[in-house]
Amino acid sequence: MEKITVAVIGCGRIADSAHFPALSKIEGVEIKYACDIIESKAQDKVERFGAKQAITDYKVALADPEVDAVFVLTPNYSHYTITMDALNAGKHVFCEKPITVNYELSCEMARKAAEVNRQLVIGVCNRYHRTVELIEEMNRTGKLGKIYHIYCSFRAHRSIPGLGGPFTIKEQSGGGVLIDWGVHFFDLILYILGGAKIETVTADAYSEMAKDIKEYVYRDMWAGPPVLDGINDVEDFITGYIRTDKASISFNGAWAQNIDKNEMFIDFMGDRGGIRMMYGGDYTFYTVENKELVQYKPEYEIPNMYELEDKDFIRSIRTGEPTRNHIDKVLESAKLLDYVYKSSEERREIRL
Ligand SMILES: NC(=O)c1ccc[n+]([C@@H]2O[C@H](COP(=O)([O-])OP(=O)(O)OC[C@H]3O[C@@H](n4cnc5c(N)ncnc54)[C@H](O)[C@@H]3O)[C@@H](O)[C@H]2O)c1
């Protein structure tokens, strides 16, 4: 089996919890470089995951002809520059979600990948989740009938990540809860529908819960601690309504809300069956058979989706066959995010 040599750029949370553990298990993959601007984070990956060398400048890895592919696991604003540099250096790229901070730059990245004939995949990992695979198949084979409406909720109890830091500075993140969490939900909806043409978008965004960073009360802060003299200019709540040629979509997303527990799910309403898909978990499917209401709650092993997406990326490098999360298949949801933001900024319905 042809050996594939990779460099991992950005050694933070997602690198640590998902990609280093996954890559270190994939046969025929060598992690030659762990790169982070904070050297100790890169060095830690050498010690814990067998990366050969710790570096602080990603251009060292790009200049190495042995490196076939890079993983871009850095904050959103840097996805564009690092990915473009890597493609220009002839490397295949796995870039974490969101593609980057807006649709226009996302399209440039897709064009560059096509021009240099390299794989460019986006970390919309849920496409590899067994639940999502099953629901996509159920829709494709008609078990839900016609899906006429989808409602999605990505709301949490007071959990703005790293308030004041890169997640809440628009210039660095591209936005708040929509681009951070909503990106997964919209991606899944379009994926399960088998694509859809967006017709109208209406949305409102709010940044109310942490107007004063010092006064914000929270239980946990997963990219914390708060940067008290930092910036928070992104939305912590967003709501809206989308019409497509297949189904309408309503959504509510909150990084922070005064609720007891997180409400993370997507409801698919079909004329033959309905599904509530719990985000990252299982689902319940209701349908009518012989005039009886039937409920299915499947039990199955849930394999590690990060391992599956990383394996598929490596396969695509070896075979040249694109993955299900190739950038060309993710652009539509990036476009949708842009229109949701545009509608909320201009306080009007956008017709496409
Ligand atoms: N697929 C998912 O479900 C998922 C989950 C979490 C995060 N993410 C995405 O992954 C990305 C990283 O998120 P995170 O939570 O790991 O953030 P993080 O802040 O924990 O890690 C980012 C790391 O990148 C490093 N870095 C920044 N600029 C760099 C550069 N130029 N060169 C090398 N290293 C650099 C930082 O020092 C930091 O260690 C974000 O885009 C985020 O949206 C995806």
Q: How far is the CA of 320 from the centre of ligand 1 (A)?
A: 27
pLDDT of residue 274: 96
Over residues 250-269, the pLDDT tens digits come to 999 999 999 999 999 999 99
Q: Is 44 in the pocket of ligand 1 (CB under 6 A)?
A: no
73 lines ligand 1 (CB under 6 A): yes
Q: Is the CB of 123 under 6 A from ligand 1?
A: yes
| Residue 14 Cβ < 6 Å to ligand 1 | yes
pLDDT in tens, 279-313: 988 889 999 989 999 998 888 787 899 999 999 99
Quick: pLDDT tens for 137-192.
999 999 999 999 999 999 999 989 999 999 999 999 999 999 999 999 999 999 99
pLDDT score of 1 more than 80:
no
Model confidence, pTM: 0.95
Residue of minimum CA distance from atom 4 in ligand 1: 14
| 37-84 residue pLDDT tens | 999 999 999 999 999 999 999 999 999 999 999 999 999 999 999 999
Q: pLDDT at position 53, please?
A: 98
Give the angle 230-234-236 at the CA atoms, nearest 5°. 110
Give the Å distance between the CA of 13 and the centre of ligand 1.
7
Mean pLDDT of all residues in the chain? 96
Q: Which of the pair, 225 or 189, is modelled with greater confidence?
A: 189
CA of 331 to the centre of ligand 1 (A): 20
Residue from 58, 96, 178 to probe ligand 1 pocket by mutation (most atoms less than 8 Å from CB): 96
> Mind listing the domains of the chain with CATH numbers?
4-126+306-322 (3.40.50.720), 127-304+334-351 (3.30.360.10)
